[in-house]
Structure 1
């Protein structure tokens, strides 16, 4: 672009005392290409094909002003409102928009100071790596939770099956206990009746023997009486 004209009402800068040689062409070209190459390394150009033509869009190397930063903030708020990004919690839309805003800030800082831009790039990469690590950890924890939930469901079904088997076994044992109790009661009743019968029979035999003894004793006394 041509050199900027001095504003109205100001004096032109004083001329040099002697002739000033122009800078070398290679150094000027290198100084002009260095910011653009650095920006292309930080923010790679986009490439696409349209109507059999290959298009490449590079990041602008134009310096930004204070109004550009204010406009960037307004655009960020507008995009957040248009895309209905959530204000709290995890929101991919809000993360994407803030990432684009941070890339624009890196571009603006890199044009003014390449070292600051590289440092901000390092900060951005570290943040992205940390977020990716947390995302991987979250996904692995979700998978671990799902496996544990499936194992718990499988264990639950096995435990329910085992409980049903134990309940069935319990009912079978209770039935056997009831049968054994009924058998014991029947045996006790039968033995009690048999014992009563035996006692009654024994008592009858004792009575019979007593009567027989009395009769024999009376006969014996009647036999021995005349001898006296």
Structure 2
């Protein structure tokens, strides 16, 4: 019996130690691996560029506010591997999110990363929803931080009278983003209208009207 208990304890410890490795990108196996975006090789990540410089590890794209003149009233400027190849294999990325007054970063998920935001301007209502449909929400302002667990639906809404902005961090070089409304109503090819009508308990005409807004 004692041996069985020891075996169970060892297995539990091993699982606990392994769990963090499942929460982000795979560990790097070399010091650096700047992404070679021009390579035709396809793999889970990006192959390494042969000749690198300090500029490969530099990104200035978050210095200026983005254009929030759109339907959502927000814009995300990403510093992930697609725009910043130096983060390839490092398991981290960032983004700047700007919001017009009343602007919203609509409900979405990041299937490959937890997100943490730091408010640099304005006042935001933020929240996430668990798989048990429990909403956790809070109003945050300049200098405050909020975290959104990996894979859970979350949002930010500007509740102030002026512009707002945050800096977001992710534990993935490419966090992936699925905006819920866009994913469902603007997929290509489209999700069948009757599927969405039944899911949202509305009629086909209402679904078609929503789809039209995303064209």
Query: Under a length normalisation based on structure 1, what TM-score does the superposition of the two structures give?
Result: 0.21
Asked which structure has the greater CA Rg, the reply is 1
Work out which structure has the larger RCO, using CA pairs closer than 8 Å and 6 or more positions apart in sequence.
2
